[in-house]
Amino acid sequence: MVTDLRTDSSDYRTELLSPDVTGEAVTMPTEAAWRLNMDGFKLPDRNKDSYFGFGSFVESLRRQRKIAEYYKRQNKLLKGFNELDLFSETGFWPGSLTEDEVNQLARNERIAIYASNVANLVLFLAKVYASFESRSLAVIASTLDSLLDLLSGFILWFTSNAMRKPNQYRYPIGKNRMQPVIALYTMGNWAKTVMENVWSLIGKTAPAEYLAKLTYLIWNHDKEIQHIETVRAYTFGCNYFVEVDIVLPGDMSLSHAHNIGETLQEKLEVLPEVERAFVHVDFDITHRPEHKPKLAS
């Protein structure tokens, strides 16, 4: 039985990693014997035990799942070792691009950016001409959309040009992160603008604080107001539409009630955030709501 390592041999490091515990002679490769090699490693076959009963069946499934996850991790690890061996032999990471392929990809990206900018510029100039000739709001909106496309193309061109001219004193690690960052910023900024316009067009309610301000203004408008049944404000473009239901005395004359409602409407429409105001005057609070939302068909 081997008890001592042969430190005078070139294979002693392999013996240290894999000592012979059987006493038999160990045959080691003669070439690059000091390197680890994963080719000789093979995972053992999985054992399948017999179980009876529902509890045993569930326990078996749980164990089999854990074993399957373990073997999956081990196979992934061995695959990584093989990729490292290939990288050590060839000097290239599997699946990575060569230097010529990287340069060709960069040239293709620049050509695509230039072509996109030229196309957007031609389209923008054509829409500008069409806007002056037609004076159509739809064409003008489409022109502004083309202007944004042209602006985004210019940002991509600027960042691509800046990445090819790094300053090692100001940017020691280069400018490779510039393009994905100024792109994420543009996408985030435009996405925020889009969502703001979406909320303003679908009729989102005003904040609770603003509704409280409207309620305060309505209650202090006239002493004859007995109840405030409804205060509703929702987006309509950049401003709000306001709907108000107030309760006045039932024996009040029509002209007096009309004057209270009309002056309240005018006061509400003076507010800078209000586009239009609608004031409904009633004499009780026991009736059903006058308007019901329509269900989409």
- Name which of 154, 158, 153, 160 is nearest 109 in CA terms: 160
Picking from 285, 279, 241, the residue whose alpha carbon sits closest to that of residue 262 is 279
The residue ranking higher by pLDDT, 193 or 279, is 279
Of 282 and 202, the one with more pLDDT: 282
pLDDT band at 233 (very low <50, low <70, confident <90, very high): very high
Torsion of CA 78, 80, 82, 86, to 10 degrees: 180
Lowest mean pLDDT among 99-113, 209-223, 261-275: 99-113
- Does residue 117 carry a pLDDT above 70? yes
Mean residue pLDDT of the chain comes to 76
Amino acid at 209: E
Q: What is the Cα–Cα distance from 14 to 28, expressed in whole angstroms?
A: 8
Instruction: Report the SS3 class of residue 245.
Output: strand
Q: Looking at residue 175, what is its pLDDT?
A: 67
E strand or H helix at 265: helix 254-270
Per-residue confidence (pLDDT) for residue 16, from 0 to 100: 47
Q: Name the DSSP letter for residue 168.
A: T
**pLDDT digits 0-9 by tens, 248-283:** 998 999 999 999 999 999 999 999 899 999 999 988
Eight-state DSSP code of residue 198: H
Please give the structure tokens belonging to residue 217.
């203004």
> 55 pLDDT band (50/70/90 cuts)?
confident
Long-range contacts of 101-109 (CB under 8 A, 24+ apart): 109/160
Q: Which residues of 107-129 are buried (b: 16+ CB within 10 A; e: fewer)?
A: eeeeeebeebbeebeebbeebee
Q: Which pLDDT tens digit goes with each residue over 130-185?
A: 888 888 878 887 888 788 778 877 777 777 777 777 777 777 666 666 667 767 77
Q: Which residue has the tokens 């303003």?
A: 200
Predicted pLDDT at 18: 47
Q: Residue 182: its pLDDT value, please?
A: 65
Mean pLDDT of 193-209: 81
Burial class (CB in 10 A: 0-12, 13-18, 19+), 235: buried
Token pair 């041999």: residue: 9
Highest averaged pLDDT of the listed ranges 41-45, 99-103, 273-277 = 273-277
Supply the pLDDT for residue 292. Answer: 65
Asked if residues 252 and 273 have their Cβ atoms less than 8 Å apart, the reply is no
Q: Write out the two tokens for 176.
A: 């490779």
pLDDT value at residue 8: 53
52-56, 70-74, 226-230: least confidently modelled range = 52-56
